[in-house]
Amino acid sequence: MPALYQPTFVDAVLKETEFTKIRDLLYRIAGISMSPAKKPLVASRLAKRLRHYGLASYNEYLRMITAIDGKKELQVAVDLLTTNETHFFREPKHFDFLRQHILHSAKSGKVLRIWSAACSSGEEPYSIAMLLDELLGNAPWEIVASDLSSRVLEKARMGLYPIERIPEIPRHYLSNYCLKGTGSQTGTLLIERRLRERIQFMQHNLTESPPKIGQFDVIFLRNVLIYFNPDTKSKVVSRLLPLLNSGGHFFVGHSESLHGVTDELHAVQPAVYLKS
């Protein structure tokens, strides 16, 4: 008996008009400007959602996520389009500066507060936490870590990473703050609970006013400004600066600059700024 015909779902082609709508939607929500070169990335990241729902076009998916009851799937789409690659101890010179110029001069008894304002899946705040725990000992410190993506924040809170990330972490930090998975967790690396509990993770859209989370001595806003146009970049920085203490430091990625963005900060070394 011949087998029944099974239709095969063919991935939809992302039309230029559809890409423009998605790009405009992402800009309105997150302030992120996508160049035409990002069209293949948008198509590949959202194609799985079209397959999941059996949709024949990106326009159908757009109608779904912009409907009144589509907020949950809209968050999924934003998560997929804004997730960026990151590493432990990325841009090591920043951690050298933090060690040599900020932590060694931290005032005894004063709580040192650091905000990782685009923390992605958590590698940056955990790297900072390892350094703070090592150098400050029992002195008080706090780290707030935020990101637009709820999906990567869930991963960050777990503190569970592929074992391939081991080379990114200095050996003495591995032995002091990381656990190697065994049994069903073989092939993974887990950040120690004591360190995980020292970080407050929260969802925050940088294009919106920051929540009431207090003042900070250091703000890390690395490798995210490159996705904003000049106007949005200025607005994002201007929203964060009131939360940075006088004499506090502001870190951006080495491929980024605050030249022409604000006059409240002055550079002390590449990609590190001081608020006077």
Whole-number pLDDT of residue 6: 42
The dihedral built from the CA positions of residue 213, 215, 216 and 222, taken in this order, carries a sign that is positive
Kindly state the helix (H) or strand (E) to which residue 249 belongs, with its residue range.
strand 244-251
Q: What is the DSSP string of 34-84?
A: --GGGHHHHHHHHHHHHHHHT-S-HHHHHHHHTSTT-HHHHHHHHHHHH--
pLDDT of residue 109: 77
User: Of the listed 23, 79, 133, 147, which one is catalytic?
Assistant: 147
pLDDT at 10: 54
Between CA 72 and CA 90, with CA 85 as vertex, the angle to 5 degrees is 135
Distant-in-sequence contacts of 71-74, Cβ < 8 A, 24+ apart: 73/49, 74/29
As a whole number of angstroms, the distance between CA 125 and CA 157 comes to 11
Q: For this structure, is 147 an active site residue?
A: yes
Number of H-type helices and E-type strands within the chain: 10, 10
The rounded distance, in Å, linking the Cα atoms of 71 and 91 is: 36
Domains of the chain are 16-82 (1.10.155.10), 92-275 (3.40.50.150)
Q: Look up residue 122 and give its amino acid.
A: G
Please report, in tens digits, the pLDDT of each residue of the chain (276 residues total). Answer: 445 444 444 578 999 999 999 999 999 988 888 889 999 989 999 999 999 999 999 999 999 999 988 889 998 998 888 877 789 999 999 999 999 999 987 777 789 999 999 999 999 999 999 999 999 988 899 999 999 988 899 999 999 999 999 999 999 999 999 999 888 889 999 999 999 999 999 999 999 999 999 999 999 999 999 989 999 999 999 999 999 999 999 999 999 999 999 999 999 999 999 998
Which residues touch 21 (CB under 8 Å, ≥6 apart)?
59, 62
Our answer to whether residue 194 is catalytic in this structure is no
* Catalytic residue (one of 45, 90, 198, 239): 45
